[in-house]
Structure 1
Amino acid sequence: MYNSLSYKSKQFFWLLIKLTIVFGCGFFIWKRLATNSEFHFPDFYQNLIKNDLFSIKNIFFLFIFTFLNWFLEITKWETLASFCIKTSKKNAAIQSFASLTTSLITPNRIGEYGAKALYFDKSFRKQIVGLNLIGNFYQMTITLVFGVIGFSYFAYKHNISVDYDKMSQFVLVGIVIFLVLFLFVKYFNSKNNFIKKIQVFIYKIPLKTNFKVVLISLLRFVVFSHQFYFLLKIFKVDISYIDAISAITSVYFISSIIPMLSVFDVILKGTVAIWVFSFFTIEPLVVLSVTTIMWIFNFVFPAIIGSYFVLTFKPSFVK
């Protein structure tokens, strides 16, 4: 009798958590679209109609970009997760979409780590969190590398006052700290069991796997940055390819280093993009339209798919 009640209590508890995640995600998405003080839906919609965004050709290419973006993300996670236990692309897709939905209402998408780990046996969960961290680290590194290059060109061309001495010192200190931590974890002969486990874990990941994840991260960056560029062309923005790419990489660079709830990402990127593209005298409405469409295609639509997987997810005790 007691075990039966306990089992039902756990079922109810998990159902409550799943409903909270899904409704919370839906509420925050609606909130961002409906109550953004800088975003007026009637103007946004008229701007889309005016620029023929809903044409079959434009919608087709936007979905192709989104498909490629998420295909690469799923492939990256399949590659990483398979290091622990062989994972199919279907399972990797389910885990990726469900974790996205969960992460939207957590700071810096931290909920993604726990959500993916729950799909695996308890003995693999710490490794799964570590692998997810490695995947995100490579994606962030690609964004920062191209962001620094793009922002440097952007700042130089528009005579933006940047203290390059301090910036180079900051970057150098960051690199030194990272190398010290990496070498410490990899080579330091510690008696600490936790550090030993991390060392063993890092050593076990093949160089081929690391290289593949870096390459996929690079391709993802190329895909979503060019989706942004494609949208600029749809809205007939008069800007050269080099200027556009430098501005786009600058937007992602600046917004990626600011901690924020993922669901507010559209506001952050919109604000940063308005400032960056103001140097090219591009209307704020156009910039907000582009960042909003990017958010809808790459986060809202996948989060809707993920909501289904969150609701159908069954923890091990109810399987």
Structure 2
Amino acid sequence: MRITSHKANQFFSLVLKILVVSAAVYFIWYKITSDEHMDLQQFLNILTQYRVFSLTNIVLLIAFTVLNWYFEILKWQNLSSYVRENSFRRATRESLSSFTAAIFTPSRIGEYGAKCLYYSRSAWRKIIFLNFLGNMGQLFATYFFGIAGLLFLITSLDLPLPLVNGLIVGGLLFAPFLIYWIMKRFKIRLKGYSIQRLEDSFNNVPEKIRWKTLLFACLRFLIFTHQFYFLLLIFQVDVSYALLISAVFSTYVLASIIPTLIIFDALIKGGFAVWIFGFLDVPQIVVLSIVLTVWILNFGIPGLAGSYFVLKYKKSRHATT
């Protein structure tokens, strides 16, 4: 009976892994081929026109992607060290496989559950919080650089920004801080968690780990935003560095306001990018091509790479502290 049960568990585990990988691959392919503003052939034609496929450009673009994920993996290795010593190789496996699981879940919820599978049940609460802390560190870096970019654009350009739109954008940007204050002031609980409890958990994490997390998050942000900037140079956008990088920063912070599926990340960023870069007279087709290219490099390829680790996952080997 135990043998039958074990084989049934193995079968369902295999089916689940195949479903996760199939869903991830489908979502990635769907994103690349179903953009309503630009079909796949048009996208490939514009990449060819601007010689994006030249050896030098490919090497540099992939280098940006590798560095981006290198610091993401270091960030998780650093955070998970609070639970157990974690090698870079194991952190790579955990980061990429959980990313694949997160592709088709809202606000990357699947990432939390997938990382837990590599640890014993007793450590799950800590792993969920550490993953949350890593995401909040990345969000903080996005807000820090993004708000600076927005302020620079607003003061440098004569933007036709109606008061209502300005108030909406400002309200959305500062909404997280307002929500934080309200929850703390009135001791509001969210699914049993209070701000005080989160702060206590935060303070229990060693200060060295917290600062390194923030450092890696900032480095990641600067790397993938400069990958975007490098593509703007490839597409021969003749605007000053300060204005371009501020526009990129602004695009990311505005896109971060809206929780969404990873598969729609490029759609959200594309909408904001077209609006922001429109003030700099950058053609819409160029902006959309860059957004999709960055999505493929930093989301599509890592998602496919993570599929390998999802299929290789074995609970008995990984779920230990």
Normalised by the length of structure 2, the TM-score is: 0.89
Amino acid at match of 1:178: Y
Q: When the two structures are aligned, how many residues end up with a matched partner? A: 312
**Stretches of structure 1 lacking an aligned partner (at least 5 in a row):** 186-191
- Partner residue in 1 for 2:29: 30
Give the distance between the partners of 1:47 and 1:314, measured in 2 at CA: 43
How far 1:119 moved relative to its partner? 0.5
- Partner residue in 2 for 1:208: 208
- Partner residue in 2 for 1:77: 76
| Contact 2:24–2:100 under 8 Å retained in 1 | yes
Give the distance between the partners of 2:298 and 2:305, measured in 1 at CA: 11
Give the distance between the partners of 1:172 and 1:251, measured in 2 at CA: 16
- Partner residue in 2 for 1:99: 98
| Contact 2:225–2:245 under 8 Å retained in 1 | yes
- Partner residue in 2 for 1:53: 52
Q: Which of 44-53 and 143-152 deviates more?
A: 143-152
| Contact 2:183–2:194 under 8 Å retained in 1 | no
Give the distance between the partners of 2:60 and 2:171, measured in 1 at CA: 42
CA RMSD, 1 decimal: 2.6
Give the distance between the partners of 1:170 and 1:21, measured in 2 at CA: 33
- Partner residue in 2 for 1:90: 89
2:155 is the counterpart of 1:161: no
- Partner residue in 1 for 2:110: 111
| Contact 2:184–2:195 under 8 Å retained in 1 | no
Give the distance between the partners of 1:247 and 1:66, measured in 2 at CA: 20
| Contact 2:117–2:315 under 8 Å retained in 1 | yes
| Contact 2:173–2:254 under 8 Å retained in 1 | no
Amino acid at match of 2:180: F
| Contact 1:84–1:127 under 8 Å retained in 2 | yes
Give the distance between the partners of 2:277 and 2:68, measured in 1 at CA: 24
- Partner residue in 1 for 2:6: 7
How far 1:6 moved relative to its partner? 1.9
Identity %, equivalent residues: 38
Give the distance between the partners of 2:134 and 2:240, measured in 1 at CA: 32
SS at match of 1:280: coil
How far 1:12 moved relative to its partner? 1.6
Deviations 1:229-251 (A, max 9, x none): 00000010111111111111111
Give the distance between the partners of 1:139 and 1:47, measured in 2 at CA: 32
Amino acid at match of 2:289: S
| Contact 2:64–2:224 under 8 Å retained in 1 | yes
Give the distance between the partners of 2:37 and 2:72, measured in 1 at CA: 31
SS at match of 2:307: helix
How far 1:145 moved relative to its partner? 2.1
Q: Which of 193-202 and 216-225 deviates more?
A: 193-202
| Contact 2:183–2:195 under 8 Å retained in 1 | no
Q: Which of 141-150 and 304-313 deviates more?
A: 141-150
How far 1:272 moved relative to its partner? 1.7
| Contact 2:172–2:257 under 8 Å retained in 1 | no
Deviations 1:103-123 (A, max 9, x none): 000001111111111111111
Relative to 1, partners in 2 of residues 1:88 and 1:236: Cα closer, same or farther, differing over 3 Å? same
Query: Mapping of 1:1-319 within 5 angstroms?
Result: 1=1, 3-156=2-155, 157=157, 158-162=159-163, 174-175=176-177, 177-178=179-180, 201-316=201-316
How far 1:167 moved relative to its partner? 6.5
Deviations 1:206-261 (A, max 9, x none): 11111111111111111111000000000101111111111111111111111211
Give the distance between the partners of 2:196 and 2:184, measured in 1 at CA: 13
Deviations 1:261-309 (A, max 9, x none): 1111112211221121111222111111101110111111111110000
